[in-house]
Structure 1
Amino acid sequence: MSVRSVGERIAYYRSVARPRMTQQQLADAACVALGTIRKIERGERGVSTDTLEAIADALGVDPGRLLGDREVTQSRVHAALPALSGAIAAYDLPDDAPVRTLPQLRVAVEEAAGWRLAAQYTRIARALPGLLPELLRGYHAATDGERRQWADLLVRAARSADAVAYKAGARDLSARMIELMRWAVPVAEDPVLTSSVAYVRTETFFVARAHATGLRALEEAIDAAPAPDGTPATAARGALHMRAAVIAGRAGDGSAAGTHLSEARALGDRVREDVYCGTAFGPDSVRVHEVSVAVSLGDEHAGRALDVAREWAPPHSLPAERRSGFYIEMGRAQLWAGRPDDAFEALKVARRIAPQHTREHPWVRQDAATLRRLKRADAEDLSNFAEWCAAT
């Protein structure tokens, strides 16, 4: 490839992507303005490290390729993990640096939540090491009348930070973020937010493979959740049932999985698809989880996941992280069903939807490595994909 500039390399990889990406599609996937993409490709402006990494993730290539060398660059997400750890190490010993107003910080927290739903972990990793200590300072300095609001923002910000840690494989840091959330959420006095923390806490049970214990914790959270009288409370309870169905599947408890999935489906039919406290819930999310439960229960249940995929695909209105998760799960189901080519196509769809989420997902690495050993699909295409996600 005889290209000379970063912009020309970006244009090249965009043109050879499968399917080919337009400048608008690349801009959408990288969360970069269309005008910026055009100027970079024309060589009319430089490109920052953050923007370069976002574009590389969207294209499914290592940033080093866009810079003209084959060196593997360290992910900015992984590089930010020590700073995130340091941000909460002294959660009870805040410094005396300035603190913005509650309305200003609410905007910043909501922006981080949007990045999480779009699986833009690089942006979260850049913002949260400064935002978390600022929220902790505000929380400790708040009056009794305002502390609930500070606790609410702190929990929501930690939720976004946990996404970065968990997806990047920093399980100990993720567990510490969850404990920070559990420490602050009682002060917020919001039952729906408490349900959200119980939902996220399940990550620790997944990591420990303590699925039966995790199911018990979720069932206790369901019992403590507010009655499903309004949309937020209905969504909160429904999301807990979705999560319980998946972990019951991991525990091999098909009966419990089916019961919780039925409860989630009934609650999902009562609300429109929406997002509460960073977690999507509604009829489409329940259908995504139906696939996840089938995959969790194992090979013999893969057929149910394939049946769902024949009838339905997640709409664009679902958060990118959830849509890409659907195709990652479908890739595994298709691999188990002896359809390696279809499995690879599903993984590529997941990458186009949410590159950072797909790149960090351990199942993607495992399944790409399996596909590589099977020597199926286009060899160069598969090798490039396996290199991109660090499959071994």
Structure 2
Amino acid sequence: MARPALRSSVGERIAAIRSARRMYQADLARAANVSISMLRKIEQGTRVPSDHMLDAIAAALGVDPSRLLGDSGRLDSRVHDAIPALREVIAAYDVPDKGPVRPLPALRASVADAVQKRLSAQYVLLSQNLPELLGELIRGAHTAADPDKFATLLVAAYRASDAVAYKYGYLDLSARLIELMRQASATAEDPLLSASTAYVRTEIFFAAHAYQAGLRAIESAIDRLPEKAERSRLGVLGALHMRAAVVAARAADADAAVTHLGEARRLGDLIPEDIYYGTAFGPCSVRVHEISVALGLGDRHLHLALTLGATWSPPLSMPAERRSGFFIDLARAQLWAGLKDAAFESLRTARRIAPQHTREHPWVREDAETLLRLHRAGSETLVGFAEWVGVI
């Protein structure tokens, strides 16, 4: 009986978002290249769209397919099904196949689109598009007269691929992609690009719980940054200090955490809005990381996270992945403080912002399971959320 429910929910979401966009059925049908009769049947719940059709409708509405599928497990399977193709491409990174390579402007546009999808936590679309894009970039780097021109694009594409691998638990693949990022950034001979990969590299140390080693690695990256008074260096340096503060907190090194966070705050105060150079940095990004640091240090630092959560919320201009991460961290702080209802509301907020990022976050599963134990009777809404994240 779950099939009719899926039909209804998908159609209802399409109709609701279309109405919010002030589009008629004819407008959406034309933009998605489907017949109006087919769209009408989908919205009425009498037809289920194929994956290809769903992607086309989502693109026409300007949303990720996850917004249309809701609780359906189709999203997870599509990501997991794409992983073998991604593995195959990077396994042959030094012996690529022969094939076409588009001009650099077209490749830059595709990579920029992939970066935007990563920041928006649109992992389904990323997983579908990245194997082909990575293969093309690798071929280009091997056949171009000036392969350095491809290095920056490869770093960004590897990072987008890592976002999918890391979020969905393919830690070996994630580690390999990060190593390829480091190789490509070294080829580019851009110290800022190399430093920005150090931010991502800490994922390996997080996964291994090797926090002291992670702190040494990121502090080394900070020390290697060239002394240049330029805006992009400020963004990279600030991002590294933010990350170092979180790693130090996980390592229970309160002094280092406070020192790095203080430096990140100082650098953030020098700019009016976030800078993006591989990773966003600015006053708002520092605040998001403050909660992570407070969680890592725990105990007497916990009130800082609760105070920040009660007085500030990340602006809509921030990437969806980072905004949802703020509420995931806040939920854990609230749960530790015994604020069960507030914690659940924060998890629901994270889900509204970036459903795929929230669903695949291990803390969300742990906290949903804890909330179920604390609410012995269990509300229907909480049970539904727990089912959605896969803990029951």
The equivalent residue for 1:69 is none
Cα shift at 1:136: 0.8
Question: Which stretch of the first structure deviates more once superposed, 304-313 or 74-83?
Answer: 74-83
- Contact 1:359/1:389, CA 8 A, preserved across alignment: yes
The equivalent residue for 2:140 is 138
The equivalent residue for 1:30 is none
Cα shift at 1:268: 0.9
1:129 aligns with 2:131: yes
- Contact 1:306/1:333, CA 8 A, preserved across alignment: yes
Distance in 2 separating the partners of 1:86 and 1:215: 32
Cα shift at 1:278: 3.5
The equivalent residue for 2:113 is 111
Matched position secondary structure for 1:63: coil
Distance in 2 separating the partners of 1:347 and 1:26: 27
Letter in structure 2 aligned against 1:63? S
Question: Which stretch of the first structure deviates more once superposed, 321-330 or 293-302?
Answer: 293-302
Letter in structure 1 aligned against 2:72? P
Cα shift at 1:47: 2.8
- Contact 1:132/1:157, CA 8 A, preserved across alignment: yes
The equivalent residue for 1:18 is none
The equivalent residue for 1:241 is 241
Distance in 2 separating the partners of 1:254 and 1:346: 26
Distance in 1 separating the partners of 2:143 and 2:279: 30
Cα shift at 1:192: 1.6
Distance in 2 separating the partners of 1:341 and 1:26: 33
Cα shift at 1:321: 0.3
Distance in 1 separating the partners of 2:390 and 2:229: 46
Residues 222-261 of structure 1 mapped to structure 2, 5 A cutoff? 222-227=222-227, 229-261=229-261
Distance in 2 separating the partners of 1:14 and 1:147: 44
The equivalent residue for 1:75 is 77
Cα shift at 1:5: 8.2
Distance in 2 separating the partners of 1:26 and 1:383: 32
Cα shift at 1:87: 1.0
Is there any run of 5+ residues in structure 1 with no aligned partner, and where?
A: 16-20, 28-32, 65-71
Distance in 1 separating the partners of 2:18 and 2:294: 37
* Residues 1:378 and 1:60: Cα distance change in structure 2 (over 3 Å): farther
- Taking structure 2 as the reference length, what is the TM-score of the superposition? 0.87
Deviation per CA, 1:273-306: give whole Å up to 9, x if none. 3342331110000011001100111244221100
The equivalent residue for 2:175 is 175
The equivalent residue for 2:98 is 96
* Residues 1:134 and 1:11: Cα distance change in structure 2 (over 3 Å): closer
Distance in 2 separating the partners of 1:26 and 1:384: 28
1:267 aligns with 2:267: yes
Deviation per CA, 1:209-262: give whole Å up to 9, x if none. 000010010000001113351211100000000000000000001110000001
- Taking structure 1 as the reference length, what is the TM-score of the superposition? 0.87
1:63 aligns with 2:72: yes
- Contact 1:118/1:321, CA 8 A, preserved across alignment: yes
- Contact 2:241/2:260, CA 8 A, preserved across alignment: yes
Distance in 2 separating the partners of 1:316 and 1:24: 22
Deviation per CA, 1:175-205: give whole Å up to 9, x if none. 0000111111111111221111111001001
The equivalent residue for 2:158 is 158
Deviation per CA, 1:342-384: give whole Å up to 9, x if none. 1000000000000010010000000001101112696111111
Distance in 1 separating the partners of 2:243 and 2:363: 18
CA root-mean-square deviation: 2.9
Deviation per CA, 1:9-67: give whole Å up to 9, x if none. 3355799xxxxx7656799xxxxx79769864257996332637977733684326xxx
* Residues 1:383 and 1:188: Cα distance change in structure 2 (over 3 Å): same
- Contact 1:254/1:297, CA 8 A, preserved across alignment: yes
Matched position secondary structure for 1:129: helix
Letter in structure 1 aligned against 2:223? D
Distance in 2 separating the partners of 1:251 and 1:3: 47
Number of matched pairs: 373
Matched position secondary structure for 1:75: helix
The equivalent residue for 1:386 is 386
